[in-house]
């Protein structure tokens, strides 16, 4: 069996096995083993892509290039850490075997949909896969079954489907545009890229704008972001890590694929405007949040905006920065949600004002939260700092001074916003007795924090050669033929 097919088959097998109501630990074990196996497979696939530039299972239907391999790698890594975190989370929250099975079944279905997106090469099927990521995660968002969680889930699915319908018309228009060229090339990412220069710009731009608005809902671009903070405040923390770390990125991947078909001038006029709006609005909304999971949710909106802006610079250096930012966002934001989840387990409240002196009541959660805040805010020497810096440099190199200036300003505001809130939570005099809550953190949660922190810290000081090669390939897929 082709490894590309295997990578989607493994989560499906895990779905079936985690449904078996035999033992409370079985679904967790199955999910973790499946996710880890998929991670190994994804690394091997990424290495093959670096060597061969493309891995094909079924030509024009199932294939993986640099951009896809990057996303697949991120998805499988976050799925593994989220599966590990889920063990402790579910053990402390759920008593019923049926609910435990249901959680892990849906978790694996969600992961299945997420890995489906990068391996599919036919745009309409990618639409379906992206839609699956929403359909299979909605009951996880409302898993708590509280009124607030159900409300968040409703808002989530209603907006997701509304976006999907709008994007669907975009994909039909795209097919039409390619059909008009009459080259007879198949409807696939590579076929579209070959036909793109001859496609009518009006149709390509209309298709792109429909997908930008439609999938922009799923990415959380302003003003379609309203579901994001709600869903992230209500969903279980490991689900948040998947939602913020990879689900948003998955929808963004589809937008960026379409963006790469646009004429450069159209790309440079639309994408920085849309991206900057998200970065700016999120940076200021960050300042007024009262819930620390919402804080990180707004930070996701900000980061998605940064990636769109960087790609919209229309230069290879910008695309390279965007890819680095995408990788660092996924790794760091998932870590942030694990840290937030650990803090929630330790103190039992999501309110920023109610938490003080976390570093003393729960040193592990406090340290992780501080590390996460510094890393996601973009402090040196963490990986996000490097990618943001390379984007600023690309902006100046492309002589886009206004865009770069605004980006630097908003990113700085967001940095202070995040640190202001987290600083208040981590330091200060604790409200509860010291040393009381530490025992409550399950061992799988601590293991997740360590495992997820490794790339966050390591990629800031060292980038393995194959990762660098992969990022270069992905940037070339993102902006083929752009000026340096």
Partner 1 sequence: MITAWLQDLNALAGGLFLLALFGLVATRQVQGCLRLFVALSALLAASAFLLTAIYGVLDLAVVGTVDVVTKAFLIPRLLRRALHDEVFARREVTQVLNVPTALLGALGLAVAAYLLSQPLLRFTGGGAVASNLPVGIAGLLIGGLTAAVRREAVPLFLGLLAMENAAFFAGIGIAPGMPLLADVAIAFDVLILVFVVGVLTRAVQERTGTTEVGELILLREEGAR
Q: Point out which residues bind partner 1 (CB under 8 A).
A: 122, 124-125, 127-128, 131-132, 135, 138-139, 142, 145-148, 150-155, 157-158, 161-162, 164-166, 168-169, 172-173, 175-176, 179-180, 187, 200, 202-203, 206, 229-230, 233-234, 290-291, 351
Q: How far is the CB of 274 from partner 1 (least distance, A)?
A: 19
**Nearest partner of 288 among 406, 384, 413, 426, judged by Cα:** 413
Q: How far is the CB of 298 from partner 1 (least distance, A)?
A: 11
Q: How far is the CB of 125 from partner 1 (least distance, A)?
A: 6
Q: Tokens 């940037």 — which residue?
A: 475
Q: Of 202 and 412, which has the nearer Cβ to partner 1? A: 202
Q: Tokens 């920065």 — which residue?
A: 321
Q: DSSP class of residue 217?
A: H
Q: Of 203 and 457, which has the nearer Cβ to partner 1? A: 203
- Peptide bond before residue 223 is cis, with ω within 30 degrees of 0: yes
Q: Which two structure tokens, joined as six digits, stand for 138? A: 């909605």
CA distance 482 to 311: 11
Q: How far is the CB of 54 from partner 1 (least distance, A)?
A: 21
- Peptide bond before residue 381 is cis, with ω within 30 degrees of 0: yes
Q: Tokens 């969600």 — which residue?
A: 110
Q: Tokens 């999938």 — which residue?
A: 215
Q: Of 181 and 451, which has the nearer Cβ to partner 1? A: 181
Q: Which two structure tokens, joined as six digits, stand for 108? A: 């694996």
Q: How far is the CB of 138 from partner 1 (least distance, A)?
A: 6
H helices within 313-464, ranges in order?
A: 316-347, 358-361, 363-377, 383-397, 401-426, 443-461
87, 28 Cβ separation under 8 angstroms: yes
Q: Of 217 and 449, which has the nearer Cβ to partner 1? A: 217
Q: How far is the CB of 80 from partner 1 (least distance, A)?
A: 26
Q: How far is the CB of 153 from partner 1 (least distance, A)?
A: 6
CA distance 446 to 425: 19
Q: Of 7 and 126, which has the nearer Cβ to partner 1? A: 126
Q: Of 230 and 388, which has the nearer Cβ to partner 1? A: 230
Burial class of residue 156 in the structure, from the number of CB atoms within 10 Å of its CB (0-12 exposed, 13-18 middle, 19+ buried): buried
Q: Of 353 and 461, which has the nearer Cβ to partner 1? A: 353
């Amino acid at each position: 069996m082709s490894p590309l097919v295997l990578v989607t088959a493994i989560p499906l097998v895990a779905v079936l096995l985690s449904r078996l109501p035999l033992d409370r630990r079985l679904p967790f074990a199955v999910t973790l083993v499946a996710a880890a196996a998929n991670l190994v497979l994804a690394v091997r696939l990424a290495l093959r892509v670096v060597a061969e530039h493309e891995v094909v299972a079924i030509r024009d239907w199932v294939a993986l290039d640099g951009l896809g391999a990057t996303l697949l790698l991120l998805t499988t890594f976050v799925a593994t850490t989220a599966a590990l975190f889920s063990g402790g989370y579910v053990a402390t929250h759920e008593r019923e075997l049926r609910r435990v099975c249901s959680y892990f079944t849906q978790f694996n279905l969600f992961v299945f949909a997420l890995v489906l997106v990068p391996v599919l090469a036919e745009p309409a099927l990618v639409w379906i896969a992206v839609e699956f990521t929403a359909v299979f995660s909605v009951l996880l968002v409302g898993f708590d079954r509280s009124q607030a969680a159900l409300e968040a889930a409703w808002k989530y699915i209603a907006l997701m489907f509304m976006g999907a319908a709008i994007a669907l018309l975009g994909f039909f228009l795209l097919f039409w545009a390619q059909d008009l060229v009459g080259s007879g090339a198949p409807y696939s990412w590579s076929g579209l890229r070959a036909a793109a220069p001859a496609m009518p710009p009006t149709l390509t731009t209309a298709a792109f704008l429909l997908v930008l608005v439609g999938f922009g809902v799923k990415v959380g671009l302003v003003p379609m972001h309203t579901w994001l903070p709600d869903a992230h405040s209500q969903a279980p923390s490991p689900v948040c890590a998947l939602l913020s770390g990879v689900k948003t990125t998955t929808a963004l991947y589809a937008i960026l694929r379409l963006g790469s078909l646009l004429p450069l001038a159209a790309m440079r006029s639309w994408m920085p405007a849309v991206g900057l709006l998200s970065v700016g609005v999120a940076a200021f909304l960050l300042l007024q949040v009262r819930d620390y999971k919402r804080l990180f949710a707004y930070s996701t909106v900000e980061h998605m905006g940064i990636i769109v802006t960087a790609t919209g610079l229309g230069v290879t250096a910008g695309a390279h920065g965007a890819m680095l930012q995408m990788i660092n966002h996924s790794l760091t934001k998932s870590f942030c949600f694990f840290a937030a989840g650990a803090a929630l387990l330790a103190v039992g409240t999501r309110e920023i004002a109610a938490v003080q002196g976390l570093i003393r009541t729960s040193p592990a959660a406090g340290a992780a939260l501080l590390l996460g805040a510094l890393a996601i805010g973009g402090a040196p020497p963490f990986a996000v700092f490097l990618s943001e810096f390379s984007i600023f440099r690309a902006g100046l190199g492309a002589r886009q001074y206004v865009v770069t200036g605004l980006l630097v300003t908003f990113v700085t505001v967001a940095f202070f916003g995040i640190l202001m809130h987290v600083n208040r939570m981590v330091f200060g005099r604790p409200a509860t007795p010291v040393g009381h809550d530490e025992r409550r953190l399950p061992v799988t949660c601590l293991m997740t924090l360590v495992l997820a922190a490794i790339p966050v810290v390591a990629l800031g000081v060292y980038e393995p050669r194959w990762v660098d090669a992969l990022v270069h390939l992905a940037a070339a897929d993102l902006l083929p033929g752009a000026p340096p």
